[in-house]
């Protein structure tokens, strides 16, 4: 009797839900282990070397424990640092989430693009390298937000959302120059699509908000398809999803995580 091995989706908190829900949409039967490293949140404020060591150790432990068939690092702040050492440490595929600079460069008409991310992501060589390679002729404004990820955590925990703080954090994304205006904003932190409606409401003019989650789900599907099949026996009940918090908190009591579980077919969560 074979059961389909789960995929581990890893983030510092609720942000990875934006990726997990796209995976769920594309592969509804795939069991997920969602791990929130909430004991270490927010990653955006960590020193790069310390964060890299911490993430490799934490993800390696989670893989040992849950035996996934693949890992999705559903966090830009971690992915822009840890993908090479993690791939070296693990013998399963690792899919990362990195700023969607290339699609943004293809979509902008004004040539003014902003990248909204954590302070960590906008200071990484990885991000600078993406800009050099894929958007050399685009005027990119890097906006490192200290508070938006925490505001997304507030929203998904049912706490009141400080709209004034949200508008202030996103304001620097909107650039007007020589009669042109920013027309694409890359959501380069997985927490931010959870605030899509609020960000759009706070925007001084409409822009395209680029969320890479559907592309990450497709990448995972391709990567899994390349592996030897590990298909569920139709007679075997599906493996239930799991929620893991490094703090030991019960995540099923947090609204956003509960919704993720409920999106699965009844009886499987
Ligand atoms: N969700 C994370 C990202 O994509 C980071 C949030 C944080 O922990 O600061 O960058």
Residues with a catalytic annotation lie at 75, 189
> How many CB atoms are located within 10 Å of the residue 233 CB?
10
Residue 164 to residue 112: CA distance in whole angstroms:
25
41 CA from centroid of ligand 1 (Å): 8
The 8-class DSSP code of residue 11 comes to E
- pTM of model > 0.95: no
What is residue 236's predicted lDDT score, i.e. its pLDDT?
Answer: 58
Q: Which atom of ligand 1 is nearest to the CA of 77?
A: 10
Alpha carbon distance 249, 247 (integer Å): 5
Query: What pLDDT, on a 0 to 100 scale, did the predictor assign at position 268?
Result: 43
Q: Which candidate, 11, 35, 9, 4, places its Cα nearest to that of 22?
A: 9
Which of 18, 41, 58, 75 most suits a substitution to test ligand 1, by most atoms within 8 Å of the C-beta? 75
Phi, psi of 34 (to 5 degrees): -100, 120
Compute CA distances 79 → 62, 87, 260, whole Å.
16, 11, 22
Residue of 9, 13, 81 with the most ligand 1 atoms within 8 Å of its CB, for mutation? 13
Q: Does residue 189 have its Cβ closer than 6 Å to ligand 1?
A: yes
Contact predicate 99/76, CB 8 Å? yes
The shares of helix, strand and coil residues in the chain, as percent rounded to the nearest 5, are: 45, 15, 35
**Which domains occur in the chain, in start order?**
7-97+214-255 (3.40.50.1860), 101-211 (3.40.50.1860)
Burial of 2 (0-12, 13-18, 19+ CB in 10 A): exposed
pLDDT the model gives residue 250: 85
Name the stretches of the chain with pLDDT < 70.
1-3, 227-240, 255-269
Question: DSSP string covering 86-140, please?
Answer: HHHH-SS-EE-----HHHHHHH-SSSEEEEEE-TTGGG-HHHHHHHHHH-TTSEE
- Residue 51 CA to ligand 1 center (angstroms) comes to 12
Distance CA 140, CA 99 (A): 12
């Amino acid at each position: 009797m074979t059961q389909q091995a789960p995929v581990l989706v890893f983030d510092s908190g609720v942000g990875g839900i934006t990726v997990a829900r796209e995976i769920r949409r594309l592969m509804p039967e795939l069991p997920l282990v969602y791990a929130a490293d909430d004991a270490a949140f927010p990653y955006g404020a960590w020193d790069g070397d310390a964060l890299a060591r911490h993430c490799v150790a934490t993800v390696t432990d989670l893989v040992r424990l849950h035996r996934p068939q693949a890992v999705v690092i559903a966090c830009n702040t971690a992915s822009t640092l840890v993908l090479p050492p993690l791939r070296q440490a693990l013998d399963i595929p690792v899919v990362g989430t990195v700023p969607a600079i290339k699609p943004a460069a293809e979509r902008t008409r004004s040539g003014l693009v902003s990248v909204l991310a954590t302070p960590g992501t906008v200071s990484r060589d990885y991000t600078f390298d993406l800009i050099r390679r894929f958007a050399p002729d685009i005027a990119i404004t890097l906006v490192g937000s200290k508070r938006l990820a925490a505001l997304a955590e507030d929203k998904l925990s049912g706490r009141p959302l400080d709209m004034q703080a949200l508008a202030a954090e996103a304001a620097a994304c909107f650039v007007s120059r020589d009669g042109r205006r920013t027309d694409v904003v890359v959501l380069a932190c997985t927490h931010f699509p959870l605030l899509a409606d609020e960000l759009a409401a706070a925007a001084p003019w409409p822009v395209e908000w680029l969320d890479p989650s559907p592309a990450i789900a497709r990448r995972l599907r391709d990567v899994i398809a390349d592996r030897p099949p590990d298909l569920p026996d139709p007679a075997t009940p599906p493996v239930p999803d799991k929620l893991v918090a490094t703090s030991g908190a019960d995540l099923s009591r947090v609204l956003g995580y509960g919704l993720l579980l409920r999106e699965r077919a009844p009886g499987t969560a």
